[in-house]
Every structure is written in structure tokens, then in C-alpha cells.
Chain A
Amino acid sequence: MITWRPAALLAAGAVVVAVLPWPWAGVAVLAAAVATLCVLDAALAAAPGDVVLRREGARQVRLDDTTEVTLVVTNTGVRPLRAQIRDAWVPSAGATPYAQRVDLDPDESARLVTTLYPTRRGDRPAARVTVRSYGPLGFAYRQPSGRRADAMTPGWRLRVLPRFASRRFLAEKMARLRVVDGMVVTRGRGQGTEFDTLREYVIGDDVRSIDWRASARRSDVIVRTWRPERDRRVLCVIDTGRTSAARVATVIGDRTLDEPRLDAAIDAALLLATLANRAGDRVDLLAIDTTVRAAVEGGTGRSLLPRLTNAMAPLQPALVETDFGLVAGEVLRRERKRALVVLFTALEAGALGEGLLPVLTQLTARHKVVLAAVHDPAVAELAGRRGDIEGVYAAAAAHRTLAERDRLRAALGRHQVEVVDAPADVFASRVADAYLAMKAAGRL
């Protein structure tokens, strides 16, 4: 294929043929000459097949962060390579620049850096590297396409991790956890049921916690201290079915995001997992709709959070009805001991009433169940609409939805299921609060 240069040369030839005594012969000669030049130039261009491509760089990045992936271009041919190279990614990977120029002598290599600013969570693949190798005159080029171009493209997949916007709540929740833990203020009994240690009595301690036997041995007044239970199990079950696809408005800082409910659930699950991990509990994860989409088991310690984020990053809502029978079965199979099961789903009468309520007793018999649901502020807004007939009908529909939600909440309450129903911006915080409250009350 040709570049703009032969076109410019032909246009300039218009002036030449105008002054020639035999203009039509001039046209033929000039056109033939330009065509020959183009063919020669293309023939002399470095073969794109001799270009060897390799990639290195980041494998994962957090959403809203920037990263770089390097494309190493090596010219293994005998001719110098003058080329334009486009490293194409899916649009949501936010790859820049569009294309880069390289001038490579034989056996030389260059590093082309592509900056990626992903705009969506999940796996962002690199699509295709296109090499356009120009001839020495820059008149023509050779560019492989289709299967040949795909064959020389080195694959790469950038995993974009969830934003974890609820990190901003972490400091506050950790402070409250420390209070519960008894590290900051000792308040004796009631803060836990597990025996922790013996220490000397100081004024202000609850006299009921004096250990008389120990006091007799040590000839000093000794009190028992208590701490919250440790090594409890927390299982985050994320529903990736159709209700998780619904978009709810989320305000983070000065930005309004229109993200699916699933993203809010992932965010809250991350905060809860971090908190529980610090509190010394084991955290498991299960993402499920009609099949198990992701599962992390037995997470403790520092490796937990990266593993959770990695497992949750590629989750996408599936347009299927979640099989709560399968959910109950999987939960019971994975958690033999009593655990706190936090079910991230939506408070929707249709989905939960027919799916979850029939199997709920199986779960509540062995586990403590918390149902965490993001609600859409738009419904409450609709409920307040008045003025015209359209608004009144919308408000009636919204009130009906709210009433259904209340009935469902009552039904779940009868099964001793705690319901956290909050708008997306404070959802993660409310879920963490529920966990902390249970931790403090020793109800885990």
C-alpha cells in the first residue's frame, strides 16, 4: 500500500505535464514512474514478518490507577526497519499513545511503552499489534493483517482490580475494632466471652471479674480479662445473578458513578474482609449465580486481601436467576462450623421470596446470616414525586416497592436474619458496622 507521498508527487506532476509539448505522453510516463517507485519501495521495505514482538510490564492494576506495559520490538531481518507500530487494546483499557514510530537497524530492539488507564474492572486484553513497515523512500509500506498480524501479536491480559473505594472507612472501623478488642479501653466483661488473660486489679474494674482463686494464690487482687472471640469464620456470598446487574447511583467524593450493584457488593466485601482479617477471623468468599463464579477458601493473614481482590476482579453480572438452592448447598458444604454468612444480594421480593426464603432455614439452622443489599436512592426519590398524574403513579409504584421490601425484611427478620439495606455510598460502612456490632456483642 502507498502513503500520501506518491499522491503528492502525482499532483505536482500536473504542473510538469502542463508545460510539456506532449502532455498525454507525459501523464502516462509520470504515472508509470510513480507506480514503479511505489512497487520498488514496497519491495525494499523491511519484512514485517522479521519483526519479533515481546511484552513485559504490569499484570494487574487497581481501577483508577495508571500503569505501563512495554512492547519490546526486535528487528531480526537484514534491512533496517522504519515502521509505525500500533499496540491496540480494548477501549476500556485506556491505552495511549495510538501509534509509535520506530527506526531499527538489523538486530536492534526498541521498547515501546503503552500507558494504560483502565476505565472498567475485570480483565482487559491486548487486541493486536499492527506493524506498518515503510520503504526507504516512504512511498509505500507493508502491513500484515488478519491472521498473520494476530500470529505475531504477543498476548497480554491486564487484570483491573476493584477500586476498593471503601478504604476511606477503614481507619474509623479499625479504631472501633480496637475498642471492641479491648486494646484501647478496657471495659471488662460484656466485651467478649472468651477468657484472655489475668492481670492485677485496678480501680474501676468490674468486681465481678475478680478471679478469687488466682487472687488467693498471688496474695493480690487479680481480675480476669475477656476478649472477643477470635478465629471465627466469615463467609461473603456475592450474588452475581440478574439483580446484581442493576445500576445504582454511587457518589464517591465529587464523582457520581453509575455502577452495577455487584460493584458495591465487591467494595463492601473487601472492607468486611479486611476488617475481619484484622480482627483475627477467617474469611471465605463465594461468588455464585447458577454456578460458582469464584471461591476463596481459608483466607487468613496478609495474603488474604490480594487473593480476594484477584478473585473478585473479573466478576461480571450474569443475566440469570440466582439459584439459592445451590447457594445454600455450597454454603453448607464449605462451612461445617458455625459461621457468619453475609449474603450480598438485592432486597427484591421476586428473587428472594421465591428463591431464598424456602432454603433459609437450612442456612439459619447452622449459621448466622446477614443479608446485605444496596438500595437505589432513585426509588425513594420516586416515592416523593407529586404534582402531576405521572408523578403520582410513579410514587404509588415506588411506595408499593418499598412496602414489598418492608414485608420481605420482616419475613427475613422472623428467620433471625439481619438485614443491612443502605444506599451505595454508605453501604460498605453499614455492613462493617453490622459486623462490628455482632463482634462486640459476641454473637458471632
Chain B
Amino acid sequence: MSVRSAIPAAATPTAPQQRARPRDRRWLRLVIPFAVVVALVTGTAIGHAMQEPDVTDPAFLNPASTAAIGGARLAGLLSARGVAVQRVDRSSDALVAAYQGDATLFIPAPGLMHAYYLRMLKLLPASTRVVLVQPSDLTLGQGLIPVRGGRSRWATATVAPGCPLPEAARAGDAGVYHLSYGKVVEETARCYDGALVGTRYAAAEVLLVGANEPFRNDRIAEHGNAALAGGLLAAHRRVVWLDLHRSEPAPRVIDESPDPGQVGAPPSLGTGGSPDPDFPISGTQGGGGAGDRNRGGSAGEPPTPPYWKLLPPWAWAALAMLGLGALAFAVARARRLGPPVSEPLPVAVRAAETVEGRGRLYRRAKARRPALLTLRTSTLNRLRPALDIASDAPREAVVEAVAARTGWPPGHVDTILYGAEPAGDADLVRLAAELDHLLHMSVDIDKGVHP
């Protein structure tokens, strides 16, 4: 007389200690995916940053540097083609030198130039060509250069020129596609899928190159890079090479112009040098330059009030109180009255699952013959006792007996019970229906033969 019951462990997950264990590590489920994503993103960003040359590095496209990112090979190439390379390290000097005309102004790091100097490119004469290396959309916008930035790539690609610009056509494929440029006012050239665009900026011819690779020592030998870089810079007798490695201060502007009809210009350019009455640099006269906005309304018109002045202080204080109240309410609602309780669920297996699965398997395998055979066998098994046929009776005897009971022609009965393999799905459905019909005709279905 003893009662013993061993319960499966899965049915009794009740002890609190047992449940506590998996919960302790649950934070990992949240942290691990984020950590992996953050690690991947950080690693990729660091790797990319290491691949990109640093424009503030003194060696970067320096005509005297033989480092990988230097420009000594380009300078040598230019010298070999009889072009004089004049290295300058200040923008103002570069502008003055280029202002004399018949020169190429090569700017490897336009982002480091002050925006005012970039705007002064407009002052250059028509016989000066300006080559900007990889200027960003921001740089272009600040310099008021009429080109919009376009797509940028993760790494530089080699593309075909696809334009009639002679320098590009001579160079052929070149690895210049890192940045591509979008809309250009007064476009003079568009090569390499927009990675090399030319424009007329006032009088000067400005060329924008979307990558620094063609000029660098380590890449100049690849593809048509050397031909492209040399061709772009050797258009004139002289190259003014702006070797700039740190951000420049703003130019000192002559505020009091002696002539009211003229505007200020940098001292090195002298006064009265501007051919452009809209020249945007101005000291005290308003004019909507970026400098005006930055200085916060020193001009005549009233400045727009900052947004926090739009409401009186008491309203902001009341809003702060309401915000605090909402925060407190969120905190109050945050804590549950005890954790949710999980239910130890039993397994759910439907009894007919295997049968349905086998049916689907038949269908996928298009097993018409086995399916029909099964149906025929089962029909025959039900016909035999009803018609008093021995289980080993020959085919003819069965057909004869069934035909006699149903009144159907024996040939038809034979086709149904022993006929050929069904040709298609429709044929199988029809035969199954006829088997059913035959069975109904032969057996009084109310007698309840075993299913």
C-alpha cells in the first residue's frame, strides 16, 4: 500500500530560486546585440578614418614630401613637363600670385581655407585655372562656389572619363570617384560620373576633382592618374601650389573704403581690385553675408528674438512644472505590483498532425498512384464484406459482382477499381469521387461500415 508519484521536472517549475537564475542573465540579451553593432560600427569607422589621409598632416600633397600622401612625384612630373611650381603657404599669397594670370592655382585642401578666400576666387582673371581637390558640400556652400555636392562613396572608385575634356580623355580611366558633384551653374565640363566638374566662377575657370588619390605619391602611378593630374595642372606655364595644413584666420578687411562705390578687399590684393560689385565681403555695410548673422545683429534692422523669449517666463515655469508632473507620473506608473508570472505550458501536438503532414507530402511528391491505390484498397476492403466477395477473389469476379449490384457497365467498374494510373490532378479527383459514388451505390451507407 503505497502511493508514489514521480512528476516530470518540466511540470513543476515553481521554486523561486529556479526561476531567478535565468533572469539574472537576461540583461545580456539586450546588451549583446547592441554591443556587437556598436563594435562593428566603431571598428569600421576607425578603419575608414585610418584609410583616409589627414589634410592637416604637413606631408599631405606637399610638393616637397615623398611620403605616401605627399605630392613630390606630381611636382617632379610638372617640372619635367616644363611647368614652374611655385609653392606658397598662405591663401592670400596664392591669390595674389594667381591674380597675375596665366597660372594654375592648385588647392589640395580647400576645406582649410577661410571661406572669404574661397569667395575671392571670383576675382581671378580668365587666364587662371583653379583646381580644387575634394571640396565638401559645406566648403562649396561657404565659399559660394556655384556647385552642389552630390553623392559620396566609402572608397574611391576607378571610372571612365565619358566626357570631351581633353585632359580627361587623354588620361582615360582614373581613380577619382570618391565624391561626385551635383548641380553646377555654368557647367563647362562633367567627367568621371560627376567626380570631375568644371565651371566658370566669374571669370576664372574652376575645376573640382572628387578625390585626392590621383595627386598622391602612392596612387599617382595607377590607371591614368598621372596623366589626369599632370594634364589638369599643366594647362599654364606656372602652378601656384597652395600648401596649407591648418585652418586659416579670416582675412583682415579694409573697412573704410575710400570710394563708397567700392567694397573692401584683403590688403594683399589692394583696394579697388574687385571687378564684382556684389562681392559679398563687407565689414560694416549690411548685405546678408554669413558674417553678419554670426555677429548677431550689429546691423540696423532689429534681430529676431531667440525662441525662449517667445513666451513669458512664468509660462515656461508652468510648463516645467507640468513636465516634472508628467515625469513623476511616469515614475509612479513604472513599478509593477510584483512581476508577471509565467505559465508552464504543456506541449501541444494535434493528433491528426502526422496524417495531414503525410497528405501534404503526397501532394508535394505528386504521388497520385500511391494515393489512388490507397483509396482503391480501402474501397475494396469495404466492398468485399458488403458484396460477399472473398478477399482472394480475382479481379474479374469482383468487377462482375460490383457491376451486378450497381448496374454499371463492367468496363467502367473495372476502370474505376483497377484502371490505369491517373494522368493528372483532375483525373485523380474524378476517380476519387467515382470510387465514393461506387461505394455508396454498392453499400447501404447507413449500415455504418467501419470508416
Contacts and interface: CB of A to CB of B under 8 A. Distances in A.
A86 B338 contact: yes
B341 A127 contact: yes
B359 A396 contact: yes
Interface string A360-384: 0000000000000000101110111
B318 interface: yes
Contacts of B354: 401
B46 interface: no
Nearest to A396: B371
Contact of A296 (B3, B6, B339, B344): B3
A153 interface: yes
A7 to B, nearest CB: 4
A17 B321 contact: yes
Contact of A14 (B5, B322, B381): B322
B363 interface: yes
B318 A23 contact: yes
A317 B451 CA distance: 29
B370 to A, nearest CB: 7
A18 B360 CA distance: 73
B3 A310 contact: yes
B137 to A, nearest CB: 42
A28 to B, nearest CB: 10
Given A311-B3, A382-B356, A395-B432, A27 B317 contact: yes
Nearest to A124: B14
A231 B359 CA distance: 49
A104 B358 CA distance: 65
Contact of A13 (B321, B332, B356, B429): B321
Contacts of B12: 123, 125, 314
A11 B325 contact: yes
A383 B3 CA distance: 43
A340 B314 CA distance: 91
Interface in B1-42: 1-8, 10-12, 14, 16-17, 20
B351 A386 contact: no
B331 interface: yes
Interface stretch (B123-131, B156-164, B181-189, B372-380): B372-380
A15 B377 CA distance: 88
Given A27-B321, A379-B355, A388-B429, A18 B315 contact: yes
Nearest to A292: B6
Nearest to B324: A10
B370 A396 contact: yes
B343 A90 contact: yes
B436 to A, nearest CB: 6
Contacts, number: 253
B359 A316 contact: no
Contacts of A90: 341-344
Contacts of A10: 321-322, 324-325, 328
B425 A389 contact: yes
B359 A398 contact: yes
B331 A1 contact: yes
Contacts of B347: 245, 317, 319
A393 B318 contact: no
B11 A316 contact: yes
A314 B314 contact: no
Contacts of A383: 378, 451
A309 to B, nearest CB: 11
A394 B355 CA distance: 7
Interface of A: 1-4, 6-11, 13-20, 23-24, 26-27, 30-31, 34, 84, 86, 88-92, 98-99, 120, 122-123, 125, 127-130, 132, 143, 145-147, 149-150, 153, 157, 242, 245-248, 260-261, 287, 291-298, 307, 310-311, 314-319, 376, 378-380, 382-384, 386-390, 392-403, 406
24 contacts: A7-B325, A7-B328, A18-B315, A23-B314, A24-B317, A27-B317, A27-B320, A88-B338, A123-B7, A125-B12, A127-B16, A129-B338, A145-B338, A147-B16, A294-B4, A310-B5, A314-B12, A379-B355, A383-B378, A389-B363, A392-B375, A394-B359, A395-B375, A397-B362
Interface of B: 1-8, 10-12, 14, 16-17, 20, 313-322, 324-326, 328-329, 331-335, 337-339, 341-344, 346-356, 358-363, 367, 370-372, 374-375, 377-378, 381, 425-426, 428-429, 432-433, 436, 450-451
CB-based closest 5 A-B pairs: A23-B317, A130-B338, A11-B325, A394-B359, A376-B351
Given A314-B7, A403-B381, 12 more contacts: A11-B322, A27-B320, A129-B338, A145-B339, A294-B6, A378-B350, A378-B351, A389-B425, A393-B359, A396-B362, A396-B371, A403-B377
